[in-house]
Amino acid sequence: MPMTVKAAEMPQFEAGTATDPSDPESREHQPARSVSAFSLAFSMPVVVWQALFFLLPLAFLLVLTLWTVQSFRLIPDLSAANWARVYGTGFFWDAYLRTFALATSSAVLVSTIAFPLTYCIAFHLSANAQRLAVLLLVTPFFTSYLVRVYTWQAFLADEGLINSALAILGLGPLTMLNNVGGIFIGYATLCLPLVVLLQLMSMANVDRSLVEAAHNLCCSPLRTVFAVVIPASRVGLVLGALFCFILTFGDFVSPTYLGGGNPPTLGILITDFTKAGNQWPRAAVVAVTMVITLLVIAFAAVRFAYKTRRSAL
Amino acid sequence: MSSVLQIKNVTKRFGAATAVDSLSLDVGAGEFLAIMGSSGSGKSTLLRMIAGLEQPSEGDILLNDVSTRGLAAHERDTPMVWQSLALFPFLNVLENVEFGLKMRGVAPAERRKRAMTWLERLEIERFAKRAITELSGGQRQRVALARSLVTEPPVLLLDEPLSALDAHLTMRMQSVLSGLQRELGITFVYVTHSHSEAFSMSDRVVIMSEGRIQQIGTPRDLYLRPVSRFVAEFLGANNIFSGEVREDHQGEKVLTTEDGPIRLPERAYSRALGERIELVVSSDRLVLTDGEAPNRLSGRLIGEEFIGAGVNLFLETGSGREIIIQVPQRELNDLSLTPGRSLTVGWLPDDGHVIESDDRFRHVS
């Protein structure tokens, strides 16, 4: 069940961030000209792709929110009752705020942990070592995220590897599972390599003469990180945090298997709705709310990342 | 003249390669010093060592008589203007200029005032709130200058700052630079590969090659009295004759060449008979002649090159040697420049300049 939800969500996020902001805008700026059959033929795949994998599922999801469920059976309908019901409950808003807070703090936390690593790779490694580092950052993707989260259970459990080691030293046991700490470990497992790669994309391309110019103007190396490196690699830093937010906002695995599943996040809420009473329409209401939230966040983040300095003030 | 900058036996090695080789140099207060050399000559490395962006392998650099050994770049007051300008794209013009003051802890109101003064001085105050990307090349150049000068440093380092500009803008920036330098009395150390920039602005020019100073002197000195064949060829526009010192039938010292004897300047009369020397004659000291001249050479016209007010003519002598002669435009009006036409050039013996036969740079020509 959870996998169905994820599979439906993922392409939509990609479509939202990658195509929507750039495509229609760039076309608007071009002078009007007659549409040739040739250009039409070449733009068709984009349109078809968008329609098939973004608009159609989204439309279906929206329609589904208006259906009703009677005796565990889906009845096509045009009822706003699901929206009223879901938005009228306190636990939905609790879950929404909790999920939002978790995703936001994981974006901040994971970005903060990733930054020194990225900085080290970008500024202190040779070109060969950089390539090796990138290769190593890709290797976690060889294994399923679910498997990696299960592996953490073996480490973090009350009788797990870490607590057994601590017991030998006469320490512990520490509770590391079924709490927020467990969730963040899962989120870091999910996002850290990707966030480092995204940050690296920008930081490796920061003009070295900017860093030298800052030193030359009496800016100490530590201060240069904040005064030059961070603003100069803003695109990668923002995109890294954005992807971390997107991935964790919709994640079901870490909150369930490392966080204990209670109190629920929106991802867990969706599965709960579908399991209890076959409430697909209410699950769809939650899903649509999540899609809209992510679209807003993604648009805002991309706009902020690529904001060029204008003669403001 | 007191020294602002003293470079003492500085060597810089990168692995097995030596970029700067036990180089010593004194730069006076208020001096405009140009450092020239082809790429790989070590000129940029020298500049980077002064700025503290590289540390010397050996030797020391003194700023106002204080050793800079162990001082990091951010602990020195040696601002630099980069070839790429290295302006901060995420800051506007005013913030870029304020940067150095902010790092020194100058209060916001004060640093804004001082930055604005510099923007006015460089006539770009109306762009204060602009983004760097909204400026033209020349305007960016001025921002880079203002950013480096705002702290009123004793020395300003410039690393080929004009190389990205087009020709007429380069000329304008040259006059801006030399005007500023004279007005402020700040020492400029200016690295360039452009002859016109080095010769038009600087008090002294350093010619570097293979990490060493080949010659240092005023532009006029270098041009008229190069010490080696390398310098003479590097500065171009020179005719270099090599041969042995002999005495002609009138008892005057001459240089024997494949194109016949050439009379030496009186300064070179002390040279021993049979000594191998090289004689440099600047292209602008040669004149076209049809009659008598103490030194004469004939050749076929093989090419011409317009250089604004004058023309460089290229002749080939009987022995196949190429001679460059610089002729003012007005002299060309009644001269037909048919390729292959035979022309005779002449010059006064004292316009020749003798350099040692330098085997190190023999491979050239």
Element (DSSP H or E) covering residue A19 = none
A223: closest chain B residue by CA: B103
CATH architecture, domain defined by A77-305: Orthogonal Bundle (1.10)
pLDDT band at B30 (very low <50, low <70, confident <90, very high): very high
A309: closest chain B residue by CA: B131
Which of the residue ranges A39-53, B123-137, B234-248 has the most confident prediction, judged by mean pLDDT?
B123-137
The strand order across the sheet containing B287-288 reads: B287-288, B342-347, B295-307, B310-317, B322-328
Of B53, B74, B130, the CB nearest to A220: B74
CB contact under 8 A, A210 and B92: no
Of A209, A218, A231, the CB nearest to B84: A209
Are B255 and B262 in contact by the 8 Å Cβ rule? The answer is yes
A311 CB neighbours in chain B (<8 A) are 92, 129-131, 134
How far from the centroid of its chain's Cα atoms is residue A56's Cα? 22
CA distance A131 to A139: 13
Are B248 and B254 in contact by the 8 Å Cβ rule? The answer is yes
pLDDT of amino acid A206: 94
Distance (Å) of CA B117 to CA A227, B87, B92: 24, 19, 16
Q: What does the H/E/C string look like for A168-193?
A: HCCCCCCCCCCCHHHHHHHHHHHHHH
Interchain contact A303–B (C-beta under 8 A): no
Closest CA to B310 of B296, B293, B329: B329
B131 CB neighbours in chain A (<8 A) are 308-311
Q: What is the pLDDT of residues B309-346, one digit of tens each?
A: 788 889 998 888 889 998 888 777 667 778 888 888 99
Interchain contact A305–B (C-beta under 8 A): no
* Residue A11: pLDDT over 70: no
pLDDT band at B149 (very low <50, low <70, confident <90, very high): very high
* Residue A20: pLDDT over 50: no
Instruction: Mark which residues 204-243 of A lie under 8 Å from B by CB.
Output: 207, 209-210, 212-221, 223, 227-228, 231-232, 234
Return the minimum-mean-pLDDT range out of A7-16, A186-195, A298-307, B43-52.
A7-16
Share the mean pLDDT of chain B: 89
Higher pLDDT, A296 or B288: A296
Interchain contact A103–B (C-beta under 8 A): no
Q: What is the pLDDT of residues B259-280, one digit of tens each?
A: 888 898 888 888 888 888 888 8
pLDDT of amino acid B305: 84
pLDDT of amino acid A309: 59
CATH level 3 topology of B229-361 = OB fold (Dihydrolipoamide Acetyltransferase, E2P) (2.40.50)
A234: closest chain B residue by CA: B90
Longest pairwise C-alpha distance within chain A: 79
Buried b (16+ CB within 10 A) or exposed e, A86-101: beeeeebeebbebbbe
CA distance A253 to B148: 54
Q: What is the pLDDT of residues A28-69, one digit of tens each?
A: 444 555 678 888 888 888 889 989 998 999 999 999 999 998
Tell me the DSSP string of B54-79.
S--SEEEEEETTEE-TT--GGGS---
Q: What is the pLDDT of residues A263-272, one digit of tens each?
A: 899 999 999 9
CB contact under 8 A, B77 and A221: no
Choose from B75, B88, B148 for mutation: most chain A CBs within 10 A.
B88
**E strands in chain B:** 3-14, 17-28, 32-36, 58-63, 66-67, 80-81, 155-159, 187-192, 204-209, 212-217, 238-247, 253-257, 260-263, 276-282, 287-288, 295-307, 310-317, 322-328, 342-347, 352-356
Choose from A126, A203, A215, A218 for mutation: most chain B CBs within 10 A.
A218
pLDDT of amino acid A66: 94
Q: Looking at the domain covering B3-224, what would its CATH class be?
A: alpha beta
* Residue A97: pLDDT over 50: yes
Return the minimum-mean-pLDDT range out of A42-51, A179-188, A222-231, B146-155.
A42-51
Where are the domain boundaries for CATH 2.40.50.100 in chain B?
Answer: 229-361
pLDDT of amino acid B249: 80
Where are the domain boundaries for CATH 3.40.50.300 in chain B?
Answer: 3-224
Return the minimum-mean-pLDDT range out of A287-291, A300-304, B173-177, B303-307.
B303-307
Q: Which two tokens stand for residue B179?
A: 């005007």
CA distance B219 to B213: 15
Mean pLDDT of A205-232: 95
CB contact under 8 A, A214 and B99: yes
CA distance A259 to A257: 6
pLDDT of amino acid B53: 95
Mean pLDDT of A168-179: 87
pLDDT of amino acid A112: 97
CA distance A100 to A175: 24
Mean pLDDT of A123-149: 94
CB contact under 8 A, B73 and A220: no
Return the minimum-mean-pLDDT range out of A298-307, B2-11, B322-331.
B322-331
Q: Is B296 helix (H, G, I), strand (E, B) or coil?
A: strand
CA distance B243 to B258: 8
Choose from B80, B90, B91 for mutation: most chain A CBs within 10 A.
B90
* Residue A14: pLDDT over 70: no
Mean pLDDT of B90-112: 95
pLDDT of amino acid A295: 94
Element (DSSP H or E) covering residue B292 = none
Mean pLDDT of B56-61: 95
CA distance A17 to A198: 15
**CB under 8 Å to A297, separation ≥6 — which residues?**
A242, A245, A246
* Residue A19: pLDDT over 80: no
A232 CB neighbours in chain B (<8 A) are 88-90
- Report which residue type is found at B271: R
Q: Which two tokens stand for residue B161?
A: 């700052």
Share the mean pLDDT of chain A: 87
Closest CA to B126 of B109, B143, B110: B143
* Residue A193: pLDDT over 60: yes
pLDDT band at B88 (very low <50, low <70, confident <90, very high): very high
